[in-house]
Amino acid sequence: MVKTKTPILKFDNLNVIYNEGQPNQVHALKNVSGEIHEGEFISIIGPSGCGKSTLLHTLDGLLKPTSGTISINGSEVHGPDENRAMVFQDFALMPWQTVYDNVAFGLRLAGKKDKNIRDKVLHYIKMVGLEGFEHKYPHQLSGGMKQRVGIARGFAVEPKVLLMDEPFSAIDEQTREIMQEEVLKIMLNEKKTVIFITHSIDEAVFLSSKIILMSVRPGQIVDEIKIDIPYPRTLETKALPKYQEYKQTIWDHLKGEVRRQYKKGEA
Ligand SMILES: Nc1ncnc2c1ncn2[C@@H]1O[C@H](COP(=O)(O)OP(=O)(O)OP(=O)(O)O)[C@@H](O)[C@H]1O
């Protein structure tokens, strides 16, 4: 018998219905199931409004599903905990707190004493290249630097799974390419499991070991595409014929979903 490893994160038959029973009811996720294994980099891609953020928030525990279950290493979970951390699109930094305090936030929230977290906070600030900026406030930083603070804060709690909701969408193109490489480096060094939402097929192929493709609402998983390109990946990876083939395949899948969305009049 083939022995399969327990997935780090498993979700079964997730349904999310907003405003259930009301005239403005929205069925956002329908029977969504999946397994994520340690060390995977999963991107979720799908038409706008298909339920990607809903899925991520549900996996984080911020949103309770209408039905379905989530388990971490085989144990069912019912809310947020230290196993998962989110990095938000709009950085979600506290403007009145320094870089250091923003990165320390999750650790303090978990009840850790200041004297015990200092080394860890400084380690993650250094990891994202912000050494020397510990005492700066968010308004003194560029967009790319703010997002690096958000990433350091996510990593600092040392979650088993890092959930990233379009983390680079508010960053300019050049910084974005550099950040993509940086996140991959960190992910490989720190051996993290990442679930990542993006609208960019290029970003998804570059970063992912697997891409999950979602349908128009109610969001369902319609395909999973393994990206068989070895890590570490660099900007040169993008020139590989295989890379371009993956991009075309994903776009062919996605095009069908986007067309369906237009027909439904929701784009
Ligand atoms: N709190 C809420 N109350 C009611 N409806 C909601 C709520 N949050 C999201 N929705 C609806 O649920 C559906 C899925 O939203 P969600 O934000 O998960 O999609 P998405 O795929 O992340 O979208 P985008 O790609 O545009 O960011 C959308 O129709 C959205 O309008």
Residue 63 has pLDDT above 80, yes or no: yes
- Protein residue whose Cα sits closest to atom 9 of ligand 1: 54
For residue 255, the 8-state DSSP code is: H
Mutating to test ligand 1, I would choose from 14, 22, 24, 26 the residue with most ligand atoms within 8 A of its C-beta, which is 26
* Ligand 1 atom closest to Cα of residue 266: 29
On whether the CB atoms of residues 135 and 99 are closer than 8 A, the answer is: yes
137: in domain: no
Q: Residue 198 falls within a domain, yes or no?
A: yes
More reliable by pLDDT, 133 or 151: 133
Q: What is the distance of C-alpha 204 from the center of its chain?
A: 11
Q: How far apart are alpha carbons 46 and 3 in whole angstroms? A: 32
Mean pLDDT, the chain, integer: 90
Residue nearest to atom 3 of ligand 1 (CA): 18
Which phi and psi angles does 192 have, rounded to 5°?
A: -100, 160
Pairwise CA distance, residues 76 & 226, whole Å: 27
Distance 169 CA to ligand 1 centre (A): 17
Q: How far is the CA of 55 from the centre of ligand 1 (A)?
A: 10
Q: Does 211 map to a domain?
A: yes
Q: Give the least confident one: 8-17, 127-136, 166-175, 189-198.
A: 166-175
Q: Is the CB of 215 under 6 A from ligand 1?
A: no
Q: Which residue has the tokens 């907003």?
A: 18
Instruction: Using CB atoms within 10 Å of the CB of residue 131, give its burial: 0 to 12 exposed, 13 to 18 middle, 19+ buried.
Output: exposed
> Ligand 1: does its nearest atom lie under 6 Å from the Cβ of 53?
yes
46-50, 147-151, 159-163, 259-263: segment of lowest average pLDDT: 259-263
Q: What whole-number percentage of the chain has pLDDT above 90?
A: 64
Q: Residue 36's domain is classified under what CATH number?
A: 3.40.50.300
Residue 11 in any domain: the answer is yes
Decide if 120 is inside a domain: no
Q: Ligand 1 within 6 A of 54 CB?
A: yes
Query: Mean pLDDT across the stretch 110-138?
Result: 92
What band does 197 get if pLDDT is binned at 50, 70 and 90? very high
For residues 197 and 211, what is the distance between their CA atoms, to the nearest angstrom? 10
CA–CA dist 44, 247 (Å, integer): 14
In this predicted structure, the answer to whether residue 82 has a pLDDT above a threshold of 70 is yes
Residue 256 lies in a domain: yes
Q: Total domain count for the chain?
A: 1
List the beta bridge partners of residue 85. Answer: 162
Please check the confidence at residue 265 and state whether its pLDDT lies above 80: no
Give a yes or no: residue 181 inside a domain: no
The whole-model pTM stands at 0.91
Containing domain of residue 261, as a range?
1-17+25-83+193-267
154 in a domain, yes or no? no
Q: Whose CA is nearest to atom 30 of ligand 1?
A: 49
